[in-house]
Structure 1
Amino acid sequence: MKKCMTWLAAMALCVAAAAPAIAAESIKIGVQGAHSGDLASYGVPSLNAAKLVIDEVNAKGGILGRQLELVAQDDQCKPELATSAATRLISDKVAVVMGPICSGATKATLPLYAEARIVAMSPSATTPELTAGGKNPFFFRTIANDNAQGRLTSDFMLNNLKVKKVAYLHDNGDYGKGFADINRAHLEKAGVETVLFEAVTPDAVDFSAVVRKLRRAKPDILVFGGYQPTASKLIQQMRRDRVTTPVLGPDGLMDEAFIKMAGKDSEGVYSSYPKDTRNLPEFKHAREAHVKQFGVEPGSFYYNAYSAMLALVNAIEKSGSTDTDKIIEALHTAPVKTPLGTLTFSKTGDAAGMGLSIYQVKDGKFVELDHSITLE
């Protein structure tokens, strides 16, 4: 009997010791994006933002009495890799996902996240159809969609640049062609002539054939739809061939890597991007955290990703749960202060409250111009 009592006491101690460990099980936050490859200059800043927010939350004791755990998956912005990355995150039982970052990868993964009933929030996927009609209730984003970007950029070209003839070159992807299509629709409705509309191969080495077409078309401006590696090569080819046509692109061009790759040929290029909010305390805090941890200024979409992480954490905390339905309700109803401003999310999942501006490369730096809109 004595031995039995001793054994029972020992078992009781084991159960008591295990109880706190069970109670303290971490909340897993998935982070999916291009953490390597050609578009890592977009994905790595987002991954850095996730690390910093999670570290800060954990240093303050976590949320709901639990620590956060980062689970990262690299998809290189390739749809075929994105589905595998999403499947792994789902298998890891993440509570929410920050990402993916590219529109094509996001489009490929949303059915998987919807089936698993997991909220995914992208800091940079802009294709309008991702949120159109609220058809993806588990998807949110902290970036302006291409409809908003197109409204801003086409209005800028019409009213500020007074364009009459426009050429469009795009990479034929969801993101790039979508941006070109939306601008074309707005501008043609206003009576602007389309003199060239053509796809280019993103990994092409020689763009001389399409540059010759551009020269013959004599547009007032070239609207480019795609990512900065392709834009850099195309613009360098244009300038080498003495084609001086001004260039305007989407937020994917607003990247220090673009200026480094294109060099002096980047001068004068226009792009859209979130409004400069550097005076906000939340922006200053996010910037200082990155500089302290990584020793350099943040890269593209860092502040969008930081805002997405804050929104997800805020929703879990406000809902008091990792239940997906409660998280979604909190995202729609609980405002959150972020580096981009105080955000809420519309019924379709688009961010409301952030601003969007036109920028131009001047003397090797992106400068915000006096032309912006606020998302509602």
Structure 2
Amino acid sequence: MKKTYGALAVAAIALMATPAFAQIKIGSAGPMTGANAAFGEQLRRGAMMAVEDVNAAGGVNGQKLELVIGDDACDPKQATAVANKMVSDKVVFVAGHFCSGSSIPASDIYKEGKILQITPASTNIKLTDDAFTKGNTTVFRTCGRDDVQGATVGAYILKNFKNAKVAVLHDKSPYGKGVADETKKALNKGGLKEAMYEAYNDTDKDFTALINKMKQAKIDIIVLGGYHTAGALIIKQSKEQGLAAKMVGFDSLETAEFAQLGGAATDGVLMSFPPKVEDDPKNAALVKKFRDAKYNPEGYTLFSYAAVKAWADAANKAKSTDAAKVAAALRGGKFDSAVGVLEFDQKGDIKNPVYDIYIWKDGKSAPIKK
């Protein structure tokens, strides 16, 4: 497990490129501790590098940035505490959170505190849909949504495993249930009715009962709506207990920890994820900076970097850090970023999001050739 920070801690991170007289506070929030700390590290590292680069280029409207880190441990109550602390610390922008179950309740607090929020990783459709309905115009994301991700996975299963017996599993979280339900919807629309639809507890360590139920149903495909820690245990225990079903997961599997926890059982696991921007030649210099700092920018690292940079570019364009003015600038422009050209719709979602299907082998994920 990577280096983490104390639960509920919200601490200013001193960056070499951020002097003590930093005049603008921005935040990065996510699971810095707990089972999903690997993803919190992705968000933290991306934000740190972005702040360093923005400050090196002159800052925002001539002012330097200071980064404040919030640890929500993917817990909604802890996320609201983090959000309230961001407000009291006079943060003007937050790149976060990671878990949809954290981003959604935090978004209401950020709205009241006039803090603009861009999540690099929360995909639940309710985040932006509900914010838009409530008139909250200061919520954005640099990732896609569950409906796009679910449609991608559903189409892949329908094309390649049309006659399979499918178990749709979810961990009851807004993210896990959301992406599982969107996939179920796509499968049903395509004429494939799932053989099982089951919830599980993300904190469980023994999934024997669930696996036995899948064995009895002769399940061929496990659609996993949940995070990498439970996913690794489910596939590992399934193999050990004689269930040869193929697992198909989503973006929450995109960390090397998934393979470390599940071992050889993760070989052949499929998942959806956006195109891997760390492999894009245009990002070679940026990726080298991360690796020179002894960190591999996997998963959502560059999405976090892009969130901070897009906000900074929009704030410079608006000549203000006021949330409403920066939001208007974000919606009114196109922003060249490490994850491609970002263009936002009225809800704050990126236009034309893309997900690919990846396969795990020998501890790494790689896109399946189309």
TM-score of the superposition, structure 1-length normalised? Answer: 0.89
Report the equivalent of 1:314. 313
Alignment of 1:228-239 (within 5 A): 228-239=228-239
Report the equivalent of 1:333. 332
Moved more, 54-63 or 207-216: 54-63
Q: Matches of 2:312 and 2:26 in 1, distance apart?
A: 9
The one-letter code sitting in structure 2 at the alignment partner of 1:117 is K
Report the equivalent of 1:186. 186
Alignment of 1:1-376 (within 5 A): 26-132=23-129, 134-135=132-133, 136-278=136-278, 280=280, 282-293=282-293, 295-371=294-370
Q: Matches of 2:280 and 2:236 in 1, distance apart?
A: 36
- The structure whose residues are more often helix, as a share, is 1
State the 1:193 CA deviation.
2.2
What is the SS of the residue equivalent to 1:193?
coil
Q: Matches of 2:278 and 2:207 in 1, distance apart?
A: 37
The one-letter code sitting in structure 2 at the alignment partner of 1:60 is A
Report the equivalent of 1:374. none
Q: Matches of 2:163 and 2:40 in 1, distance apart?
A: 34
Moved more, 24-33 or 232-241: 24-33
Q: Matches of 1:225 and 1:163 in 2, distance apart?
A: 21
For the 8 Å contact 1:343–1:354, the answer to whether it is kept is: no
For the 8 Å contact 1:33–1:77, the answer to whether it is kept is: yes
The one-letter code sitting in structure 2 at the alignment partner of 1:328 is A
**Residue by residue, what CA displacement relative to the aligned partner does 1:333-368 show, whole Å, maximum 9, x if unpaired?**
221111211111111111125432110112332110
Q: Matches of 2:354 and 2:286 in 1, distance apart?
A: 18
The one-letter code sitting in structure 2 at the alignment partner of 1:105 is S
**Residue by residue, what CA displacement relative to the aligned partner does 1:152-180 show, whole Å, maximum 9, x if unpaired?**
10001111333442111111110111111
State the 1:61 CA deviation.
2.2
Q: Matches of 1:353 and 1:141 in 2, distance apart?
A: 13
State the 1:278 CA deviation.
4.3
CA RMSD of aligned residues (A): 1.5
For structure 1, list consecutive stretches of 5 or more residues without a partner in the other structure: 1-23, 372-376
Report the equivalent of 2:8. none
**Residue by residue, what CA displacement relative to the aligned partner does 1:125-156 show, whole Å, maximum 9, x if unpaired?**
11111112623422111111100001110001
State the 1:116 CA deviation.
1.6
Instruction: Using the aligned pairs only, state the percent identity.
Output: 33
For the 8 Å contact 2:358–2:366, the answer to whether it is kept is: yes
Q: Matches of 2:299 and 2:69 in 1, distance apart?
A: 18
For structure 2, list consecutive stretches of 5 or more residues without a partner in the other structure: 1-20
What is the SS of the residue equivalent to 2:306?
helix
State the 1:25 CA deviation.
5.9
TM-score of the superposition, structure 2-length normalised? Answer: 0.90
What is the SS of the residue equivalent to 1:120?
strand
Q: Matches of 1:232 and 1:328 in 2, distance apart?
A: 39
Q: Matches of 1:354 and 1:179 in 2, distance apart?
A: 15
Q: Matches of 2:353 and 2:149 in 1, distance apart?
A: 13
What is the SS of the residue equivalent to 1:326?
helix
For the 8 Å contact 2:54–2:309, the answer to whether it is kept is: no
Q: Matches of 1:139 and 1:352 in 2, distance apart?
A: 15
**Residue by residue, what CA displacement relative to the aligned partner does 1:196-227 show, whole Å, maximum 9, x if unpaired?**
11111111121100100001111231101000
Distance 1:278 1:296, change over 3 A: closer
